[in-house]
Structure 1
């Protein structure tokens, strides 16, 4: 074979082998650079979308009704706390919002607090555009508490809940401690404490002979009916008889259905004497 042709053949093979390898490397490098750039763009877009969603979420929370009622609860709790600390003077709505750090509320929420929420709240009292706390018992000092308990005792109303006293009496713990044995504490089954007036006039000494006689009578095995019968035989009336007796309602007798007579309304009175009665059958013509 001609040596010139062989040389051209070898040069052609070298060119053919060199060209595809260079093209493949460039394609691989280009595709790799594109792949590296894409996630960067995705990260930036995702972070911006997250920021926008977070900003929209915070905006929606402040505009929701839950945020509005949360502001109301915070105001009522603050007014209760300052009343218990002795700050009983009234405040304007702007002063309340300033002290509770609720200055970022909207104008419509402020109008709702002023015209609806605070006015209709049972624990808030309104005076000439100012607001104060309204407890169940408005007590100024320990003497007012003692008068309240004495009044409840005389009227037979029982005691007063400790939480109601703490709500209406500033520095209630100090006042209750100062009254000492003039108050009796009773704990209910639901763990709530009740205050009673300790009427010392009802405290009297009983002779030991009467105490021994009282304790010597066994009544554990006797029911209430037998005790009542024994008291009646001894000429002693029980407390149940002194109270108002229940009057049983008188049962009306039901009328039998057969004796009832039906009454029908009469119509066409202006035709009296002209109409004929067919209730007993067809009348016989004369």
Structure 2
């Protein structure tokens, strides 16, 4: 081979090695872009399912919240079916079928049967079957009226509208029918309380009795004295059930201002020997 060509070849290799090379990044292919767009779409749909309370509980499989999520879904479903009038008992398999929880394992089923459903205050268990257990078992508008009348006669006050809606199937229709026999009172926390409207107590009081009532002075009596008087007469006073405002505790200031800080003294056994030079050297006697 020609020596001149060999020399030119070696020089070309040296120049190529000394010149830095910049690698050009390959552009994304169309298929890669489609896969990325599909993944973003699935991620956004997953966040929507998490916001939905009725999403599938498969996402919680393997986590500690999976079984409690199943329990919450079952209790909410039993409450909903009770409110629409379906009060008959269901077996565990029927509840799982209607709540679409057929994919749970035997370990979770055993936990529901032995612990969760039995100890839940909102679930009633009879002969291995389950139903919703409201605070007040109400069948119709007559049972609601009897319950309100009983509370009024015993001085127990009213009943929360939430408890009535929880225990009475089709409660809105029943309450609308009994509108003239029920008194609604709204508490400070915006919750409504139902009271029995006893029409036998609606009478006209004579003006003379009204004047006598208003002439009795009660300025010197506080609430405690009035409550004690009612107890002596065999009358129970109604206690406030609304939320109480907690007043912030104010720290009391110590009398006399701040105390002077005391420093620990040393060498007490040399009290008559040592001299204080903090204000300069004392004059010689």
- Alignment TM-score > 0.5, same fold: yes
- Whether 1:139 and 2:135 are equivalent positions in the alignment is no
| C-alpha deviation, 1:102, in angstroms | 1.1
Q: Quote the Cα distance in structure 1 between the aligned partners of 2:153 and 2:103.
A: 52
What SS does the aligned partner of 1:243 have? helix
Per-residue CA deviation, residues 211-259 of structure 1 (Å, 9 max, x unaligned), is 46766x597xx72249xxxxxxxxxxx88546339xxxxxxxxxxxxxx
In the aligned structure 2, how far is the partner of 1:163 from the partner of 1:241? 34
Structure 1 residues 125, 27: CA separation in 2 closer, same or farther (over 3 Å shift)? Answer: farther
- 2:9 aligns with one of 11, 18, 31: 18
1-side partners of 2:172 and 2:58: how far apart? 43
Q: How does 1:77-92 map to 2 (within 5 A)?
A: 77-92=76-91
Question: CA separation of 1:137/1:104 partners in 2, compared to 1, >3 Å: closer, same or farther?
Answer: same
Instruction: State the match for 1:176 in structure 2.
Output: 175
Q: What is the match of residue 189 of structure 1?
A: 188
| In 1: Cα distance, 2:82 partner to 2:181 partner | 25
Larger radius of gyration: 1
- Aligned equivalents of 2:83, 2:138: Cα separation in 1: 11
Q: TM-score scaled by structure 2?
A: 0.61
Unaligned runs of 5+ in 2: 27-31, 37-56, 234-285
What's the offset of the Cα at 1:207?
Answer: 2.8
* Pairing 1:65-214 to 2, within 5 Å after superposition: 65-208=64-207, 210-211=209-210
As a proportion of its length, which structure holds more helix? 1
Deviation at 1:128, TM superposition (A): 1.6
Secondary structure of residue in 2 paired with 1:224: coil
CA distance in 2, matches of 1:24, 1:103: 72
Q: Which aligned pairs between 1:217-236 and structure 2 lie closer than 5 A?
A: 223-225=219-221
The secondary structure found in structure 2 opposite 1:191 is coil
The structural deviation recorded for 1:36 is 7.7
User: For residues 159 and 97 of structure 1, what CA distance do their matches in structure 2 show?
Assistant: 37
CA distance in structure 2 between the partners assigned to 1:242 and 1:169 by the alignment: 35
Q: State the shift of 1:23 in Å.
A: 7.8
Bigger drift between 161-170 and 63-72 goes to 63-72
Per the TM alignment, residue 18 of structure 1 is displaced from its structure 2 partner at its CA by 2.2
Partners of 2:182 and 2:113 in 1: how far apart? 41
| Structure 2 residue aligned with 1:3 | none
RMSD: 3.8
Equivalenced residues, count? 204
Q: Which residue of 1 aligns with 2:232?
A: 244
* Distance in 2 of aligned mates of 1:218 and 1:125: 53
Report the TM-score, using the length of structure 1 for normalisation.
0.60
